[in-house]
Amino acid sequence: MALQPIATTQNGSRTAHPVPVVLNGRPLEPNRRIPLNLDWVDQVRVNTSAVERRVATHVARRTVKKDTQAAWLLRAIACMDLTTLSGDDSADRVRRLCAKARNPLQRSLVEALGIEELHLTVGAVCVYHAFVETAVKALEGSGIPVAAVSAGFPAGLNPLAERVAEIHRSVEAGAQEIDIVITRAHVFNGEWQALYDEIAAFKEACGPHAHLKSILGTGDLMTLRNVARASWVAMMAGADFIKTSTGKESVNATLPVSLVMVRALRDYAERTGYAVGFKPAGGIRTARQSLDWLALMKDELGRSWLEPSLFRFGASGMLADIERQLEHHVTGRYSAAYRHPIA
């Protein structure tokens, strides 16, 4: 798989879908809100044993090697939301992260790989609202969007009006993507209309240009069926992406949960003709893990879901390991981790 340049508009921003989105030969459109269909939600069933068997066979397959592996790792970088969401974040840290987002690989490694013409960058930079303006300024002219975690992240328990207002402020500050977290109690209680209305309000607050990523907090949802039902409701409410986790739960992105969400996304696309993106986040730290998730997207959804417009990793620590693996590909030696700082 060769890495293709990321399409941009004339003003430098990423296009909604840089390549035609196709599933099983059928062209798809970007997602839009549709009425809540409770029959679809009630019909959701998940065979946990079958999910576990599918994942076990997936990770047991022989992995890609050499040049092909390097190409897949470059794709992982292009689909990465480089993120800092720590209590000790500062403007200087965010600026350093943005510099890394512009140039995720050392110049010498880019030249050794012969990929200068790709102008490789990450998919987005994800920060708290307080640092949106800092990130927007640091990324000016790069085409890299800024994603802001919002809506009472990570608990999602602030009053709805406050969460909606926070989204408005982030969009006004220049955020092009908004990562919100749902009220998990709506899922536990089967309050699907309330969950739908909440996500629809968040999508409305994003306006016509910002994309909405709905974080389900899958580590809190207890069952795979709950995960699948929440995915369906979020998509019907207009989410542009469904995302596994905040990264703050005790259990974050796992392959079984991801498979369930991806299958829901595929079924939704087949029923509606709308394409929704997917973002696993939390706990993905190694280059090998990135290959597992990329292969899952390719197997289940096809080539269209290997673009940053439809797939993102919520990970930062993974970048250093990918850089080490690419350096090994070039030199035959593993470098020390401290040679590849993030921020």
Task: Give catalytic residues, as residue numbers.
Answer: 179, 243, 279
Which one, of 314, 220, 310, 323, lies nearest residue 274 by Cα? 310
Q: Which helix (H) or strand (E) holds 98?
A: helix 91-102
Contacts of residue 188, Cβ cutoff 8 Å, sequence gap at least 6: 221, 222, 226
CB 1 within 8 A of CB 306: yes
Residues facing 126 on adjacent strands? 83, 147
User: Shortest CA distance to 75 belongs to which of 266, 281, 312?
Assistant: 312
SS (H, E, C) 192-255: HHHHHHHHHHHHHHHCCCCEEEEECCHHHCCCHHHHHHHHHHHHHCCCCEEECCCCCCCCCCCH
User: Which residues partner with 125 through β-bridges?
Assistant: 82, 146
Q: In this structure, are residues 309 and 145 in contact, taking their beta carbons and an 8 Å threshold?
A: no
* 15 alpha carbon, distance to own chain's centre: 16
* Total Cβ atoms within 10 A of residue 24: 9
